Each structure stands twice: as structure tokens, then as C-alpha cells.
């Protein structure tokens, strides 16, 4: 059997399922085997009917002596059956599943698992799981009478159906061990076949952990291996553009910046120069906390590219960020004669226009945008861009250099696995003079005081304030917008009556967003109320207070990124976190922000408290999802 074959080729019956299964990430036969149960129902206690007790979760096995449909009012149905073994008889009821009366026949041997209840003084099984079996055929029970795996479902694909498929494919496939004996021995691994069988159909619950451990190892090992393979492919096959770097010119450029680069920035610039001087195209990830100054580093690369008479493109995930980069880069480079242009869905590139640098959203990968000589691609906040988008932009030039930037703090183990094909530069140092952002989790009772303090900040310190509303849904929907609007109205009419307020959310027209941000930047707005969309990248030096509502809904790494919106200038900045939840765990988690100011450390804590799903949640698209490995060292 070919595990790589698409699901729909497995037989007629699978054709209708193919679309639904996509939602579960199952497109190839192999994906069934990697659809991992999220828990197991323990139906392993098999009892004689005469011995069962009320309240027990049991499996009974016997002969069907009666099965019938009973109609109730409102066209509902009941399915009633009687099951007998040599010690007694039990009644079984299901609801609204008339097909059961066809599937189950009198004299069938049936195995039933569920909770024993008392109904009119008789012991009954209500809606038990069931399966028909034949004593003469060697046929393992999979839905009853054992530890039963429970799978993530989707509409039209039940856990039971998945269980049947997975069982079938597990038995059809010949697993062969591919790891060397020594690795297996040294790590006390179970073999591949055992691991696959035990993760789905464990004989006892103790079998699950060793299976998970083995499969997690394979997953990490294989994804590192494939990252390395990509890296080698990139290095061996491609020939790109070898840039010349005029050191004199470069230091003149750097010396007219309003600040000196941090050592971390200098190192990153050196690493990038080395890459650019090589004929193999650069493929580098620039990782650094918010505010660590990634943009300038990218700008140096862009400038070098320009001096070599090549074009560059810088892609940002949002319109706001694209605008900001456009302004920054334009400010520094335009006076040197560099032609910088902005491209977004609202700001199309005019025909036949000449440019050296394009800054934009994913609109830059549109077919209409053509490059004569693309030499460098810079991608900001890379987790928002998928692999395909990278591939498309690559075709717009001949093996351009790639620089990807991210502020998503990812634990090193994760970075190595997911980005093993990229070379890493890490900005582990903040620009001089940055003060730590003082952070407090504010107790409910202090809310009024907090508002008073905020007004003082505006009056006395001429500060500006962000108020971020709770994270309600993954993508910005009307629900989120409505919540922010409501909060905005309340603050405006009650708390900040004498101040200038602005509202920012993702459903605003781009030019409206820009207008509001411009007003905020020009200090025409004191308090900017916003949905969590402001999370990435905005740079407003005079904003010194970040207040976050419903903080418990965010991951720590996310909160850290939000907090990074302030503390950009040299004034002391503050972050106030509010939560309605006073559970110990929540408070403890949020309080770590008061003491920790290192994004990578905070993301490790997220991992501990909220599990890997959270981290991958923030990583978003374009990242291979790990299904088994959790990265927490256990
Ligand atoms: P991020 O890494 O989050 O993208 P930015 O590139 O937006 O950070 O930089 C944040 C702010 O820090 C900007 O206002 C930028 O001008 C400033 N900055 C960058 N590098 C330095 C430096 N070496 N010294 C002082 N300020 C700097
Ligand atoms: Mg940035």
C-alpha cells in the first residue's frame, strides 16, 4: 500500500470524505496514521451481565434477543434492544438512530460499552458504544471492550469512522524499522511498528507514553533532517548574485543614522554582508525581540543591494506595517537617491514606474508587479507568510537573497527544528538607553486608581496610551470590533471625557487606519483604543503606557509583543495588565511578565502553562505543524 497516495484514491467510498478530511489535515493515507487520539476511553472492564453494578463503566457481550424502533411524540425515535448472556439480560436504549435497527439484527453477537444506569428499577445501558462481532473470526474489538482511542472529529467525520479507517490502514501497512539499533537502545525506544500500534490501540494505558516518545522523536528528527536537506539544496544548487560591499560608503551611511548600532546589530550586519558577498543566495532569519531594531539591519541590506544596482522588496504582513517601513526606509534612503515605492492593495504600482525598493503587503507578489533585477527579498514577521508566498516571490528574480525577520520568540529547540534550513542571526541586545517596561498585573479593586494614574501620565508626562481590548477570536471579526467599539464609547463618555480618544480596528478602511495612526503619531490622540491587531510592529516613540484588557486570553509571548509597542523612546514606559480571572494559575502566569523581559523565556513559560498548541497558534500559517512532539522536556 502506498502511504503517500491521496485519500481519494483509496476507493470509491473515500471520494466524498476527501474534502471533509482536509479539515483535519488528512490528505494522504499516511495522514490517517498520524491522526493522533487526544484521549482514550477506558472500556476494558468486561463484565458478565449478571454482575454489573449501577454507575460502572463496563463492556458487556452477548446475543441480541430483540431490537426495535419506537416512535415518540414529535417524530423522535427510540431504539430499544435486549441483550442476553449466560448470566442475565440487559436493556439498551439509543435515541434517534433508526438505522441501528437495521445495522443490529436479532441473534447478532454484540459488544456494548458504556455507563450502567438504573431505569424504572432495571439496569440499562443508555446510548452505549457498540460493535457486532463474530466469535468464529479472529476479529479484534476496536470500539468496545478495550482502551478506545478518541480522535479529533469534524463535520461528517466521526471518531468512530476514523477509528475504523486507522485500524484498517495500520493492519494493511508493513511497518519496517528505519532507525539504527543503537539509537533505539540508547534511548529505550519501542520500535516503530509498536509505537504506531500503541498510540492508536494501546493494550494498557502505560503503553501510550513510550509510543508517544518514540513518535515524537521521529517527528523532530525527520523535520530537522528535511530542513537540512532543504538547506543543502539551497546551498548546492543555486547560484545567486554576488554583491560587492564598499566598506567606506557603508560606514559613511551608518554614521549619518541618528544612533549607533548596537553590537548585536553590528554582528547581524556583518553576518548579512558575508552572505551577500557569497554567490550562494542568502537565506537568513533575523530574530529579535520587539524594539531590538531589526528594521535598520534590513535597511543596510537593502542599501547594499541598491549600491549593487539590484532591486529589493520588503514584505510586511499588514498595511500599517508596510506604511511604517515605507516611511522609515524612505526617510533614510530617499535622500541618497534611492527610489522607494509603496505597494498595497489600496496603493497599486503605476505602470512603467522605475523603482529600486518596493515596500508593501503581500500585494507585492501579485502578477502585475514585475522586477527587472530583483536581488533581495526581505520578509517581516515571517510567520504570517506561507511557504508558497516565499516560493512565488522567489520566481520574480533569479535566486534573490532572502532575509526573514521575526519577533516571535521561539524556544531554540523549536527554531532549530522549524527553521533548520535558515541561518540564524539573533539580536539579543536592546538599543542603549531603553528602560525596562515596568509591568503590573492590576487587581480589580485598583481599576479606578489606575485610570486616575493614566490621566496623570497624559497631563504631567505628556504621555500617550494604548488600550488593547481582549482577544476574542483568532481573526478579527465583527465580534472583536464590536467589543472594542463598546469599550471605546464607554471610555470616551465616562472615564476619559476630557481627553482625545481614537479607535483602531481591522475592519477600518486602510486609509482610515492610516489617518488614525498618523493622528496618534502627531499626538492629536491621547488614548488609542484598539483590538489586538496592533500587536505587530507599530512604532510610536511617545506612547509610554500599554494597558491590556482580558490579559488572560493572550499568551505571554503575545503580551510581551504588545508591551513592546511602548518603550520605544527614552521615557520610562509602563504596561498595565487587567484580568477578571483571579485563579491562582492565571495570576501566576501573568505575573511572570512583571519580572521577565525576555521574549524567548516567556514563550518557554507559555509552553509549560498552555502547551504547544499555543506556540503554534502564534506561529500561524506556513509552519509545518508538529502533531506529536511537544518540546517540553519531560
Ligand atoms: P523591531 O526589531 O521591533 O522591528 P524597530 O526596527 O522598529 O524594532 O526599531 C525600534 C526603534 O528603535 C525604532 O524607532 C528605531 O529607530 C530604533 N532603533 C533601532 N536601532 C537603534 C539603535 N541602535 N539605537 C537606538 N535606537 C535604535
Ligand atoms: Mg519590526
- Report pLDDT digits (tens) over 556-595: 888 888 898 888 777 899 999 999 888 888 899 999 999 9
Q: Whose CA is nearest to atom 24 of ligand 1?
A: 431
Is a pLDDT exceeding 80 seen at residue 623? no
Mutate to test the pocket of ligand 1, among 255, 295, 562, 599 (most ligand atoms within 8 A of CB): 295
Comparing 18-32, 108-122, 492-506, 528-542, the range with the smallest average pLDDT is 528-542
272 Cβ contact partners less than 8 Å away, ≥ 6 residues apart: 282, 284, 297, 300, 301, 403, 425
Which comes out higher in pLDDT, residue 472 or 306? 306
Banded pLDDT at 630 (limits 50, 70, 90): low
Comparing 181-190, 332-341, 461-470, 603-612, the range with the smallest average pLDDT is 603-612
Position 388 scores a pLDDT of 73
Determine whether the shortest distance from the Cβ of 468 to ligand 1 is under 6 A: no
Ligand lying closest to the C-alpha of residue 568:
1
Is a pLDDT exceeding 50 seen at residue 622? no
**Could you identify the atom of ligand 1 that is nearest to the CA of residue 295?**
6
Determine whether the shortest distance from the Cβ of 431 to ligand 1 is under 6 A: yes
Tell me the C-alpha distance between 474 and 491, whole Å.
Answer: 25
C-alpha dihedral sign at 409, 378, 225, 166: positive
Position 474 scores a pLDDT of 57
Comparing 99-113, 161-175, 506-520, the range with the smallest average pLDDT is 506-520
Position 76 scores a pLDDT of 85
Is a pLDDT exceeding 70 seen at residue 4? yes
Determine whether the shortest distance from the Cβ of 600 to ligand 1 is under 6 A: no
263 CA to middle of ligand 1, Å?
13
Mutate to test the pocket of ligand 1, among 264, 266, 291, 299 (most ligand atoms within 8 A of CB): 291
In this predicted model, what pLDDT tens digit does every residue of 301-319 receive, in sequence order? 999 999 999 999 999 987 8
Banded pLDDT at 551 (limits 50, 70, 90): very high
Is a pLDDT exceeding 90 seen at residue 475? no
Query: Which H or E element spans position 543?
Result: strand 543-548
Query: CB–CB of 619/410 below 8 Å?
Result: yes
Tell me, what DSSP letter sits at residue 434?
P
Position 628 scores a pLDDT of 60
250 CA to middle of ligand 1, Å?
19
Is a pLDDT exceeding 90 seen at residue 81? yes
Tell me, what DSSP letter sits at residue 347?
B
Tell me the C-alpha distance between 196 and 124, whole Å.
Answer: 36
Q: Whose CA is nearest to atom 18 of ligand 1?
A: 293
Query: CB–CB of 520/546 below 8 Å?
Result: no
* C-alpha cell of residue 314: 520588503
Is a pLDDT exceeding 80 seen at residue 616? no
Calculate mean pLDDT across residues 473-483: 72
In this predicted model, what pLDDT tens digit does every residue of 347-384 receive, in sequence order? 888 877 899 999 999 888 888 888 999 999 999 976 66
Is a pLDDT exceeding 50 seen at residue 37? yes
Comparing 428-437, 443-452, 480-489, the range with the smallest average pLDDT is 428-437
Position 614 scores a pLDDT of 42
Q: Which of 564, 181, 519 is nearest to 408 (CA)?
A: 564
Calculate mean pLDDT across residues 149-167: 92
Q: What is the mean pLDDT of the chain?
A: 87
In this predicted model, what pLDDT tens digit does every residue of 403-427 receive, in sequence order? 999 877 666 666 666 677 788 898 8
291 CA to middle of ligand 1, Å?
5
pTM tops 0.75, yes or no:
no
296 CA to middle of ligand 2, Å?
9
Q: Whose CA is nearest to atom 26 of ligand 1?
A: 431
Q: Whose CA is nearest to atom 9 of ligand 1?
A: 293
88 CA to middle of ligand 2, Å?
72
Determine whether the shortest distance from the Cβ of 521 to ligand 1 is under 6 A: no
Nearest 5°: phi and psi at 61?
Answer: -135, 135
Position 613 scores a pLDDT of 44
SS3 513: helix
Determine whether the shortest distance from the Cβ of 295 to ligand 1 is under 6 A: yes
Determine whether the shortest distance from the Cβ of 261 to ligand 1 is under 6 A: yes
Mutate to test the pocket of ligand 1, among 257, 264, 431 (most ligand atoms within 8 A of CB): 431
pLDDT-above-90 percentage for the chain: 53
Query: CB–CB of 224/417 below 8 Å?
Result: yes
* C-alpha cell of residue 32: 490517517
Banded pLDDT at 439 (limits 50, 70, 90): very high
Determine whether the shortest distance from the Cβ of 293 to ligand 1 is under 6 A: yes
SS3 373: coil
Is a pLDDT exceeding 60 seen at residue 618? no
Determine whether the shortest distance from the Cβ of 259 to ligand 1 is under 6 A: yes
Amino acid at each position: 500500500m502506498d502511504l503517500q497516495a491521496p485519500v481519494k484514491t483509496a476507493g470509491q467510498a473515500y471520494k466524498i470524505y476527501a474534502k471533509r478530511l482536509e479539515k483535519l489535515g488528512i490528505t494522504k493515507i499516511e495522514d490517517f496514521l498520524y491522526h493522533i487520539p487526544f484521549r482514550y476511553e477506558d472500556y476494558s472492564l468486561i463484565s458478565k451481565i449478571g454482575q454489573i453494578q449501577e454507575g460502572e463503566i463496563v463492556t458487556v457481550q452477548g446475543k441480541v434477543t430483540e431490537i426495535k424502533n419506537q416512535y415518540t411524540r414529535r417524530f423522535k425515535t427510540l431504539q430499544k434492544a435486549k441483550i442476553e448472556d449466560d448470566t442475565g439480560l440487559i436493556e439498551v436504549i439509543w435515541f434517534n438512530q433508526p438505522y441501528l435497527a437495521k445495522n443490529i439484527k436479532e441473534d447478532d453477537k454484540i459488544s456494548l460499552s458504556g455507563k450502567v444506569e438504573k431505569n424504572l428499577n432495571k439496569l440499562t445501558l443508555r446510548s452505549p458504544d457498540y460493535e457486532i462481532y463474530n466469535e468464529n473470526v479472529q476479529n479484534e474489538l476496536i470500539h468496545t471492550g478495550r482502551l478506545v482511542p478518541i480522535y479529533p472529529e469534524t463535520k461528517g467525520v466521526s471518531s468512530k469512522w476514523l477509528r475504523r479507517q486507522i485500524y484498517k490502514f495500520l493492519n494493511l501497512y508493513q511497518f519496517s524499522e528505519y532507525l539504527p539499533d543503537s539509537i533505539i537502545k540508547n534511548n529505550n525506544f519501542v520500535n516503530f511498528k509498536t509505537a504506531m500500534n500503541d498510540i492508536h490501540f494501546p493494550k494498557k494505558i502505560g503503553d501510550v507514553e513510550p509510543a508517544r516518545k518514540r513518535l515524537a522523536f521521529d517527528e523532530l528528527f525527520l523535520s530537522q533532517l528535511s530542513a537540512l536537506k532543504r538547506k543543502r539544496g539551497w546551498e548546492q544548487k543555486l547560484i545567486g548574485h554576488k554583491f560587492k560591499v564598499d566598506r567606506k560608503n557603508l560606514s559613511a551611511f551608518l554614521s549619518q543614522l541618528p544612533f549607533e548600532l548596537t553590537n548585536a546589530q553590528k554582528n547581524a550586519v556583518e553576518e548579512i554582508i558575508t552572505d551577500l558577498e557569497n554567490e550562494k543566495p542568502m537565506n537568513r532569519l533575523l530574530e529579535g525581540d520587539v524594539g531590538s531594531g531589526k528594521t535598520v539591519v534590513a535597511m543596510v541590506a537593502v542599501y547594499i543591494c541598491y549600491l549593487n544596482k539590484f532591486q529589493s522588496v520588503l514584505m510586511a504582513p499588514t498595511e500599517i506595517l508596510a506604511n511604517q517601513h515605507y516611511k522609515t526606509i524612505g526617510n533614510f534612503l530617499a535622500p541618497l537617491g534611492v527610489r522607494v515605492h509603496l505597494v498595497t492593495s489600496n496603493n497599486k504600482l503605476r505602470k512603467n514606474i522605475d523603482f529600486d525598493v518596493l515596500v508593501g503587503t503581500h500585494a507585492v507578489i501579485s502578477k502585475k508587479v514585475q522586477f527587472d533585477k530583483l536581488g533581495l527579498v526581505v520578509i517581516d514577521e515571517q510567520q504570517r507568510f506561507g511557504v508558497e508566498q516565499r516560493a512565488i516571490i522567489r520566481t520574480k528574480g533569479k535566486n534573490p537573497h532572502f532575509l526573514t525577520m521575526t519577533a516571535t520568540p521561539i524556544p531554540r529547540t523549536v527554531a532549530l527544528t522549524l527553521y533548520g534550513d535558515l541561518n540564524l542571526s539573533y539580536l539579543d541586545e536592546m538599543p542603549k538607553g531603553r528602560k525596562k517596561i515596568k509591568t503590573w498585573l492590576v487587581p480589580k479593586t485598583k481599576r479606578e486608581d489606575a485610570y486616575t494614574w493614566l490621566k496623570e501620565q497624559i497631563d504631567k508626562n505628556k504621555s500617550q496610551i494604548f488600550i488593547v481590548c481582549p482577544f476574542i477570536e483568532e481573526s478579527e471579526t465583527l465580534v472583536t470590533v464590536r467589543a472594542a467599539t463598546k469599550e471605546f464609547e464607554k471610555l470616551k463618555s465616562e472615564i476619559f471625557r476630557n481627553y482625545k480618544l481614537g479607535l483602531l480596528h481591522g475592519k477600518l478602511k486602510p486609509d482610515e487606519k492610516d489617518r488614525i495612526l498618523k493622528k496618534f503619531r502627531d499626538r492629536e490622540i491621547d488614548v488609542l483604543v484598539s483590538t489586538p491587531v496592533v500587536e505587530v510592529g507599530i512604532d510610536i516613540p511617545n506612547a509610554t503606557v500599554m494597558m491590556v484588557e482580558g490579559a488572560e486570553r493572550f499568551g505571554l509571548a503575545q503580551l510581551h509583543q504588545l508591551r513592546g509597542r511602548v518603550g520605544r523612546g527614552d521615557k520610562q514606559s509602563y504596561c498595565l495588565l487587567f484580568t477578571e480571572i483571579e485563579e491562582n494559575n492565571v495570576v501566576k502566569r501573568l505575573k511572570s511578565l512583571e519580572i521577565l523581559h525576555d521574549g524567548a523565556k516567556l514563550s518557554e513559560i507559555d509552553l509549560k502553562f498552555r502547551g504547544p498548541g499555543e506556540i503554534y497558534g502564534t506561529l500561524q500559517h506556513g509552519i509545518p505543524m508538529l502533531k506529536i512532539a511537544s518540546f517540553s522536556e519531560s
